[in-house]
Amino acid sequence: MFQRILIANRGEIALRVIRACKEMGIESVAVYSEADRGAPYLDLADQKICIGPATASESYLKIPRLISAAEAADVQAIHPGYGFLSENAHFAEVCRDCKIEFIGPPPEAMQRLGNKNEARKLAKQAGVPVVPGSEGLIESDEDALRLAKEMDFPVLIKAAAGGGGRGMRVARDEASLLSGLVSARQEAESAFKDGSLYLEKYIEQPRHVEVQLLGDREGHIVHLWERDCSLQRRHQKLVEESPAPNLPDKVRKAMCDAAVRLAKTAGYYSAGTCEFLVDKNHKFYFIEVNARIQVEHPVTELVTGIDLIKAQIRIAAGEKLPFAQRDIVHRGCAIECRINAENPAINFRPSPGLITRWQPPGGPGVRLDSHAVAGYRVPPNYDSLVAKLLVYQPTRTEALACMRRALDEFVVEGIHTTIPIHRDIMRLAAFRDGLVDTTFIERTWQKKS
Ligand code: MV4
């Protein structure tokens, strides 16, 4: 096992990895930017190293700085967390060249799955249902028009290098298809330096259900069931839960098995997630793979009892999975609310600053993953996630009651947070009945600016 690990991340996920290391008897090395200097969670690591200025591109994204810190601290492995360099195949390769274990999937699988069109090809090869669409990339306007007419409008233009909703355009007719191709190509070109596009049939009001995977370096892959992440706003998830409400058991099982087939075909290991859209008839379609640990991983930890961070570390150290598929039991219901330093009343505007009061909820069935404390200053430079509030109960009805209670206990002063909207969401009939899809917030939320 590793003696020492560097954590190439910040905030709650850095703390989550520090805690896992501590319990495993591994020393942790935290890195921080000038904006995070003095953050209390850094003192829980065995060592902390400043890696540069506040700007992420000069610190948390700067590969030479991270490698220098890793060499100076003499670590055997790097945990990238989520975001930042977590899905950067080049970084994983640099780690390999420097004889430092990257705690994540192999760079080859990351590279291949990072291209959404390649991931689609892999899925087809693995017998995983994909959204009807183009065979490969769009070669010309004529090509796109012919395809769109064949599959019938509306269609969705997607960037091969995209993901998380960037470089996407819905086209409901020929004119919007032609203009959408131009703007999507431009956006993809400037965002990813790759303007290649493909087409899919547009699935109206889909649910977003994803399957958690875990694989070892010997090719054993298991799924840890699904999470429903349909409640989101502008591609930012607000609530995640498991099991997915109102999902027939047959569909759920087929989706989980499909995810495992895809991971095997891709030569995947470590933790990963296979994302699916589910339409109104409960048909599911693969959309993309997240080749990293995700924000919402604790939902799965609660319903399976498996520590995903520890599993990632053990797999990176070459250990075999200590369980088979039949050993993985899904029990009860877990719900997560993402608490962001944002003001929901002013269009979710970021609300960084000093937390003057922080009174977290507790009691039975409550888990709070957070690096925040009273007196902590939320920096304006990064993602505004300040806490993940989770509940775990035998049934969804009990989980909802527990979450309402926990949200009511939670007091934060000095900054605005998304706690009030979660209090509203947990009382919505549509959410209670498991009826929300990915367009719910946009369709029903009162827009303010
Ligand atoms: C779609 C779709 C409808 N039809 N593909 C958004 C981000 C990326 N992961 C894929 N996304 C979508 N792909 C087809 N063919 C709708 C979305 C989508 C979405 C998906 C998951 C979670 C939230 C979403 C919000 C808007 C659109």
Within this chain, do residues 23 and 148 fall inside the same structural domain, yes or no? no
Query: Can 227 be counted among the known catalytic residues?
Result: no
Mean pLDDT computed over 89-105: 98
Within this chain, do residues 277 and 195 fall inside the same structural domain, yes or no? no
pLDDT at 345 over 80: yes
Q: What is the rounded CA–CA span in Å between residue 267 and residue 108? A: 8
Number of structural domains found in the chain: 3
Within this chain, do residues 72 and 186 fall inside the same structural domain, yes or no? no
pLDDT value, residue 446: 64
pLDDT at 164 over 80: no
Tell me, using a 6 A CB cutoff, whether residue 230 lines ligand 1: no
Contacting residues for 189 by C-beta, under 8 A, at least 6 apart: 195
pLDDT at 218 over 50: yes
pLDDT at 86 over 50: yes
pLDDT at 254 over 70: yes
Q: What is the rounded CA–CA span in Å between residue 434 and residue 411? A: 27
- State the CATH number of the domain containing residue 300: 3.30.470.20
Q: Determine, yes or no, domain membership for 113.
A: no
pLDDT value, residue 445: 80
Within this chain, do residues 323 and 212 fall inside the same structural domain, yes or no? yes
Other CB atoms within 10 A of residue 249 CB: 8
User: Which residue's CA is the closest to the ligand 1 atom numbered 15?
Assistant: 202
Could you identify the atom of ligand 1 that is nearest to the CA of residue 200? 15
Q: Determine, yes or no, domain membership for 362.
A: yes
Could you identify the atom of ligand 1 that is nearest to the CA of residue 203? 4
Last residue of a domain, one of 152, 174, 201: 201
Report CA(167)–ligand 1 centroid distance (Å).
11
pLDDT value, residue 447: 57
Q: What is the rounded CA–CA span in Å between residue 140 and residue 329? A: 49
Which of 117, 151, 156 has the most ligand 1 atoms within 8 A of CB, as the residue to mutate?
A: 156
Q: What is the rounded CA–CA span in Å between residue 104 and residue 407? A: 33
Last residue of a domain, one of 163, 186, 201: 201
Q: Give this prediction's pTM.
A: 0.97
Report CA(275)–ligand 1 centroid distance (Å).
10
- State the CATH number of the domain containing residue 161: 3.30.1490.20
Q: Determine, yes or no, domain membership for 93.
A: yes
Within this chain, do residues 151 and 81 fall inside the same structural domain, yes or no? no
Percent of the chain with pLDDT over 70: 99
Tell me, using a 6 A CB cutoff, whether residue 131 lines ligand 1: yes
Within this chain, do residues 259 and 189 fall inside the same structural domain, yes or no? no
Within this chain, do residues 155 and 230 fall inside the same structural domain, yes or no? no
Report CA(14)–ligand 1 centroid distance (Å).
29
Q: Determine, yes or no, domain membership for 118.
A: no
Tell me, using a 6 A CB cutoff, whether residue 438 lines ligand 1: yes
Q: Determine, yes or no, domain membership for 271.
A: yes
User: Which residue's CA is the closest to the ligand 1 atom numbered 7?
Assistant: 165
Side by side, the strands of the sheet bearing 169-171 are 169-171, 155-159, 197-201
Give per-residue pLDDT as tens, 29-56: 999 999 999 999 999 999 999 999 999 9
Tell me, using a 6 A CB cutoff, whether residue 277 lines ligand 1: yes
Report CA(286)–ligand 1 centroid distance (Å).
11
pLDDT value, residue 262: 98
User: Which residue's CA is the closest to the ligand 1 atom numbered 9?
Assistant: 164
Report CA(279)–ligand 1 centroid distance (Å).
11
Tell me, using a 6 A CB cutoff, whether residue 208 lines ligand 1: yes
Q: Using DSSP, how many helices (H) and how many strands (E) does the chain show?
A: 14, 24
Give per-residue pLDDT as tens, 400-409: 999 999 999 9
Within this chain, do residues 136 and 93 fall inside the same structural domain, yes or no? no
- Catalytic residue (one of 112, 185, 207, 292): 292
Report CA(312)–ligand 1 centroid distance (Å).
28
User: Which residue's CA is the closest to the ligand 1 atom numbered 23?
Assistant: 438
Give per-residue pLDDT as tens, 221-238: 999 999 999 999 999 999
Within this chain, do residues 186 and 214 fall inside the same structural domain, yes or no? no
Instruction: Give residue 448's pLDDT band: very low, low, confident or very high (50, 70, 90).
Output: very low
pLDDT at 115 over 50: yes
pLDDT at 12 over 80: yes
- Domain of 43? 4-103
Q: Determine, yes or no, domain membership for 408.
A: yes
Give per-residue pLDDT as tens, 275-325: 999 999 999 999 999 999 999 999 999 999 999 999 999 999 999 999 999
Q: Determine, yes or no, domain membership for 166.
A: yes
Within this chain, do residues 270 and 400 fall inside the same structural domain, yes or no? yes
Within this chain, do residues 165 and 291 fall inside the same structural domain, yes or no? no
pLDDT value, residue 449: 44
Within this chain, do residues 46 and 145 fall inside the same structural domain, yes or no? no
Tell me, using a 6 A CB cutoff, whether residue 288 lines ligand 1: yes
CA separation, residue 286 to residues 83, 129, 209, 254, 280 (Å): 22, 6, 10, 12, 15
User: Which residue's CA is the closest to the ligand 1 atom numbered 14?
Assistant: 202
Mean pLDDT computed over 347-372: 98
Q: Determine, yes or no, domain membership for 110.
A: no
Torsion of CA 387, 423, 306, 312, to 10 degrees: -40
